[in-house]
Amino acid sequence: MSTDKTNAQLTYREAGVDIDAGNRAVDLMKKHVRATYRPEVLGDIGGFGGLFALNAGKYSQPVLVSGTDGVGTKLRVAFLLDRHDTIGQDAVAMCVNDILVQGAEPLFFLDYLAVGKLEPEKVAAIVSGVAKACKESGCALIGGETAEMAGFYPEGEYDIAGFAVGIVDKPKIITGDNIKPNDVLIGLPSSGLHSNGYSLVRKICFDVKKLSADQYIPELEKTLGEELLVPTKLYPKTCLPLINSFDIKGMVHITGGGFYDNIPRVLPKDCAVEIDVTNWPKPPIFDLLKEWGGVAWPEMYRTFNMGIGMILVVSADKADAVQQHLTERGEKSYIIGKVTAGNQSVTLKGGVFGG
C-alpha cells in the first residue's frame, strides 16, 4: 500500500488557522462590543467595514482627528501572568489620550489583534478590556481584525494595536500657539507606568534584580506583575468638560520621551518650561525602578511619566478655577510648573535637580 501523502487534502486548520475558533471568538466578544455603541453606529458586528453616521451639526467646521498606537513590550508581562483583560485598555488609552490633546472628542475605535494560535476565551478577554475602555472614553468600538498567524508568533503570544478617530471644531483645535510666558502647567496624575518604558522596566526587574512577576513587593502593596499591568489611565471624561468650559491653551500626553521630549511639541518657538518635580507625589514604582536599576534621574524623567499622565497649560489667572473644576469631579491635580521665555526647552528643578 502506498503511504505517499503528497495528494492528501490538507485543510486551513491543519496549517494552523482555525476558522471555527475565529467565529467562536467573535460570538464571545459581541456583547462587549455592542455595549460601546453610540447612536451614530449603524449596523452590527460582521460587516466588512464599521459604519458611523457623523453628526457634525454642533460643529461649524468639523475636523476629524485620528491616532494609532500599540501597547509595546508591556505585553510580555501579560504573557508572564497569563492575564489579558486589562491590556486592551492600554491600547485604547494610548490612542484616545493622544487625540484628546488636540481637543478632539473620541468617536470610534478599531483594534487589530494578531495571534499565533487563536484561543477564543483569551481573545474575548482582550477585547473585553478594549470595549470597557471605549465605553469609559465615550467612543464606539465599531470594528477590528483578529488575525491568526500560524508560525509567526510564539505559542501564547500576540500583538495588539489600536486606531481612534475623534472630532473637534476647527476654531477650537488645541495647538499651543497661544501659550505665553507665565502660563502655568497643571498635571493630572497617572495610574502608574502606563505603557511606556517597559523594555527598561523588564530589564531592571527581570534581568538585573531577577524578580518574578508574582513576587509580592511591600512598597507596592501588591505583586510586581499586578503593578506592571495597571492599565493606562483614560483622560477623555476628565478633560473634555474642561476643554468645553475653559481656554486650555495646550495639552501634553506624557508617553515615551517623558517630560523632555513631549512638552516641547506644544510650545511656541519662543517659550520654554520650568517644572518643579517636588510639586506632586510619585507612585512608589518609580523610586524602586530608580534604585533597582541605578537609573539617573534625568533618564527617569525622559523615559517615564513619573506620576503625571496629562498636562494642561492655562493662563495663571484661570488655574484656580480649572483645579476647582477638577476637584469637584473627584480628579486630583497639581501645579507642576510654568512657562518662561526660551527656546522650547524643559528645565526640571527641585529635589534632586536643585533650584
Q: Write the CA distances from 36 to 109, 117, 138, 142, 208, integer angstroms.
A: 10, 27, 8, 8, 42
pLDDT digits (tens, 9 = 90+) for 178-187: 999 999 999 9
- Dihedral sign for Cα atoms in the order 348, 277, 251, 322: negative
pLDDT digits (tens, 9 = 90+) for 267-310: 999 999 999 999 999 999 999 999 999 999 999 999 999 999 99
Give the whole-number percent of the chain exceeding pLDDT 70: 97
Assign 6 a pLDDT band (cuts: 50, 70, 90): low
Predicted structure pTM score: 0.93
**Quick one: average pLDDT of 335-352?**
96
Mean pLDDT of the chain: 93
Assign 8 a pLDDT band (cuts: 50, 70, 90): low
Assign 192 a pLDDT band (cuts: 50, 70, 90): very high
CA angle, 175 then 233 then 267, to 5°: 20
User: What is the rounded CA–CA span in Å between residue 37 and residue 138?
Assistant: 9
User: What is the rounded CA–CA span in Å between residue 157 and residue 53?
Assistant: 36
Position 24 scores a pLDDT of 79
73 has pLDDT over 80: yes
Q: In the structure grid, which three cell numbers stand for residue 151, read together?
A: 508560525
262 has pLDDT over 70: yes
Position 312 scores a pLDDT of 98
pLDDT digits (tens, 9 = 90+) for 121-139: 999 999 999 999 999 999 9
User: Residues spanned by CATH 3.90.650.10 within the chain?
Assistant: 184-353
256 has pLDDT over 90: no
Position 4 scores a pLDDT of 53
Q: In the structure grid, which three cell numbers stand for residue 217, read together?
A: 513587593
User: What is the rounded CA–CA span in Å between residue 274 and residue 20?
Assistant: 57
Tell which CATH architecture fits domain 19-172. Answer: 2-Layer Sandwich (3.30)
Kindly give the pairing relationship between strand 140-148 and strand 216-217: unpaired
**Quick one: average pLDDT of 105-110?**
97
User: What is the rounded CA–CA span in Å between residue 127 and residue 89?
Assistant: 9
User: Residues spanned by CATH 3.30.1330.10 within the chain?
Assistant: 19-172
Q: Count how many Cα atoms sit within 13 Å of the Cα of residue 335 in the half-sphere of its side chain.
A: 16
Residue carrying C-alpha cell 483583560: 85
93 has pLDDT over 90: yes
What is the 8-class DSSP label of residue 263? G
| 272, 347 Cβ separation under 8 angstroms | yes
21 has pLDDT over 80: no
User: What is the rounded CA–CA span in Å between residue 208 and residue 48?
Assistant: 47
55 has pLDDT over 90: no
Position 270 scores a pLDDT of 97
Position 155 scores a pLDDT of 84
What class, spelled out in words, does domain 184-353 have in CATH? alpha beta
pLDDT digits (tens, 9 = 90+) for 158-168: 999 999 999 99
| 123, 29 Cβ separation under 8 angstroms | yes
User: What is the rounded CA–CA span in Å between residue 262 and residue 197?
Assistant: 14
Position 5 scores a pLDDT of 52
Of 8-12, 32-36, 272-276, 312-316, give the lowest mean pLDDT range.
8-12
Assign 238 a pLDDT band (cuts: 50, 70, 90): very high
Higher pLDDT: 266 or 4? It is 266
| 43, 142 Cβ separation under 8 angstroms | no
220 has pLDDT over 90: yes
